[in-house]
Copies of this chain bind each other. A is one copy, B any other.
Amino acid sequence: MADQKKLVEEITSMDQDFAKWYTDIVKKAELIEYTSVKGCMVIRPYAYAIWENIQHLLDTRFKQTGHENVCMPMFIPESLLNKEKEHVEGFAPEVAWVTHGGSEELEERLCVRPTSETLFCEHYANIVHSYRDLPKKYNQWVSVVRWEKTTRPFLRSREFLWQEGHTIHATAQEAVEETEQMLNLYADFCEQELAIPVVRGRKTESDKFAGAVATYAIEALMHDGKALQAGTSHYFGDGFAKAFDIQFTDKDNARRYPHQTSWGMTTRLIGAIIMTHGDDNGLVLPPAVAPIQAVILPIAQHKPGVLEKARELRVRLLAAGIRVKLDDSDNSAGWKFSEYEMKGVPVRVEIGPKDIEQGQCVLVTRHNREKTAVALDDLEQAVRKKLQQVRDGLYQKALENRERRTYICTELDQITRALEEKGDGFVKAMWCGDEACEDAVKEKTGVGSRCIPLHQEHLSDTCVCCGKPAKYMVLWGKAY
């Protein structure tokens, strides 16, 4: 048990220092390694396997809803980036510029894509001519670069992996429906697969994507009470189409501008998983994206028959479609327990000489350390049931954390007091719609507008800040 103690002691407790706890996990669970380029990291096999599972699940949903994958270049010429005024103002300050190819200076400098609206628009202008060419519903899985000053693994890095969907439609209505569909797809994915409850809402004007008519987002609350934007979906209207001169001939022979959307999710989701479900023993992974869903640990594995039985269980679980690992290394049982707790494996299967005698094994669920003896005959079904219980348990726990940390406030003082007394969290409060009040709330209480939830509640008649008539209930919080 010496090994186990050693490992566990190395993680800072989350209550003591949440930020340090986070970076400890990221390193000890072997998710990332730093590199000599600030803000760029190595995504190690275990984290990349989580990302592959996220990719696979999302990509399947994208294809089921009629989207196709493409791949655009990573470089955007400066003149192309400059075409849509708001867009370039939003992104130009934080792009990386390529100025030389080999030993020659380029005639025009190129930025490494921070996002690809401009490239998709250039492409659409080439391939969209008639209503018959619409809609185009494209997506790509790539990395993008934003030259951030402060960086944190997964949460804010200079290069990160993401998917960016870009669609173009004949009518505004179709594009709006697409924007909503993808927001809902993201929300459902987070809740069902990642066990992270989210709030769907619209961003305020000051918080919109550069060039968008409307930006929608899903917001999740982390264990420490800070908010994390987990996905965004933008409606562009025909602004980009006009800037890039994309027109099509409609059924009535008229020339029209099409309407566009874009939407994205990133490797931030891994950060969200860590900070929603993790605990002082390490990662806790939702089964749908866990690289290892069940780990088999033979107890007293030198005793006759134990390893053979463990191998048999492995084959059975594999055949049942469960991602399973058997650790038959010569590390101590204590070391193994703490290693797979650190790695957040949802279900541990213990099998020892006594279990074999009794025709059973013991299942231990990571998030609550609940132990259940199950008959070997029922193994597959029992593990499947446990995996579902883990997902449900994680979701419930995260939901309870969010509810405990959601404060309904009608006055500024109330906000300050709630945050002081109960810690960071979501604040629900009414807003007049005036940007000055949005800024004032942030300045006076520290929480900014996260979104205007689609599901509105009427908390009071007046703005929490100025007392004038309220237009919306806003969800406020401190953001990652």
Contact = CB atoms under 8 A, between A and B. Distances in A.
Interface of A: 33, 35-37, 40-45, 48-49, 51-52, 68-77, 80, 92-103, 110, 112, 119, 122-123, 126-127, 138, 142-143, 145, 147, 158-159, 161
Which 7 residue pairs of A and B lie closest in terms of their CB atoms, listed nearest first? Answer: A40-B73, A101-B147, A45-B68, A43-B71, A97-B100, A99-B99, A96-B98
A140 to B, nearest CB: 8
Nearest to A118: B36
B48 A69 contact: yes
A337 B298 CA distance: 60
A270 to B, nearest CB: 12
B103 A93 contact: yes
B42 A69 contact: no
A160 to B, nearest CB: 10
Instruction: Find the residue from A49, A93, A98 having the highest chain B CB count within 10 A.
Output: A98
B69 A33 contact: no
B71 A122 contact: no
A97 B98 contact: yes
Contacts of A35: 72-73, 119, 122-123
A8 to B, nearest CB: 21
A155 to B, nearest CB: 16
A73 B110 contact: no
A54 to B, nearest CB: 13
A475 to B, nearest CB: 31
Contacts of A122: 35-36
Contacts of A74: 40, 74, 112, 143, 145, 159
Given A35-B123, A95-B102, A112-B112, A70 B41 contact: no
A124 to B, nearest CB: 10
22 contacts: A35-B119, A35-B123, A36-B80, A37-B75, A40-B75, A42-B72, A42-B73, A43-B70, A45-B138, A48-B69, A49-B68, A52-B69, A73-B159, A74-B74, A74-B143, A74-B145, A74-B159, A95-B101, A98-B98, A98-B112, A101-B158, A102-B147
Contacts of A143: 71, 74, 142
Nearest to A68: B45
Instruction: Find the residue from A40, A71, A158 having the highest chain B CB count within 10 A.
Output: A71
A45 B33 contact: no
A214 to B, nearest CB: 27
Contacts of A99: 97-100
Nearest to A100: B97
A70 B48 contact: yes
A381 to B, nearest CB: 26
A176 to B, nearest CB: 24
Contacts of A147: 101-102
A142 B142 CA distance: 8
B33 A126 contact: yes
Contacts of A51: 71
A270 B5 CA distance: 53
Nearest to A72: B42
